[in-house]
A and B are shown apart, each in its own frame.
Chain A
Amino acid sequence: GEDVEQSLFLSVREGDSSVINCTYTDSSSTYLYWYKQEPGAGLQLLTYIFSNMDMKQDQRLTVLLNKKDKHLSLRIADTQTGDSAIYFCAETPGDYKLSFGAGTTVTVRA
């Protein structure tokens, strides 16, 4: 489902911060997620945030949630070459199923 919208590409210099943005549609989503997918691999759960929070920090990752604007962002501090991947934002429109965006391809350049 493409009700979740993300920008398609992001290029960032190694050592800088990356910010990936997402807008979602279902205000009743209990949790909002960020997943990472490397080429040819499945999805790795990076982090998620409960809908009654506005920020969550986990090591180099910071998630910000603006419920009023239905906007979610993922900040990666000190971006490394191993962070090059596709990042998916997902919401929970009902029960436990996930609805994903199309993904943001992050390229880290030296």
Chain B
Amino acid sequence: DTGVSQDPRHKITKRGQNVTFRCDPISEHNRLYWYRQTLGQGPEFLTYFQNEAQLEKSRLLSDRFSAERPKGSFSTLEIQRTEQGDSAMYLCASSPLGEWDSSYEQYFGPGTRLTVT
């Protein structure tokens, strides 16, 4: 399967614990995005990377959240001191870099569902 993959698919944690999610983009896709989706809502943008550089962060990304893409391939999203309000589906997407329409095509992974108890 050459699509975007995310790990784990589900995570249950207690309030106050730290969690880390991983995203592997489609091979050779330079751009990688993180979104958060709560029940009954559309995804909300969190942050994005072009290669290893984090180019934009939403104000939704509090200081408890940190994302990295150290080698320009996979990315991790860490949430420290989780709160119940962090419960959501965390979606990763990737897109190629280029001048053509295809650079605007974002392909999503299956998501990581986080439940904070």
B104 A42 Cβ-Cβ under 8 A: no
In the complex, which residues of chain A have a beta carbon less than 8 angstroms from the beta carbon of B108? 35, 42-45
Report yes or no: A45 in contact with B110, Cβ–Cβ below 8 A. no
Apart from the given pairs A42-B91, A96-B95, 12 other A-B contacts in the complex at a CB distance below 8 Å:
A2-B42, A30-B104, A35-B108, A42-B109, A42-B111, A43-B91, A50-B101, A95-B48, A96-B33, A97-B33, A98-B33, A98-B43
Residues in chain A within 8 A of chain B (CB atoms):
1-2, 4, 30-31, 35, 41-45, 48, 50, 88, 90, 92, 94-103
What's the least CB distance linking A93 to chain B, in Å?
A: 9
Q: How far is the CB of A89 from chain B (nearest CB, A)?
A: 8
- From 68 to 101 in chain B, residues with beta carbon under 8 angstroms from any chain A beta carbon are 91, 93, 95, 101
Assess whether B22 is interfacial by the CB under 8 Å rule.
no
How many positions in chain B have a CB within 8 Å of any CB in the partner chain? Answer: 26
Q: Is B106 within 8 A of A42, CB to CB?
A: no
CB of B29 to closest CB in A, whole Å? 12
- When C-beta atoms are compared, the residue in chain A nearest to B60 turns out to be A1
Inside 8 A of B45's CB, which chain A residues have their CB?
1, 97-99
A12 to chain B, nearest CB (A): 21
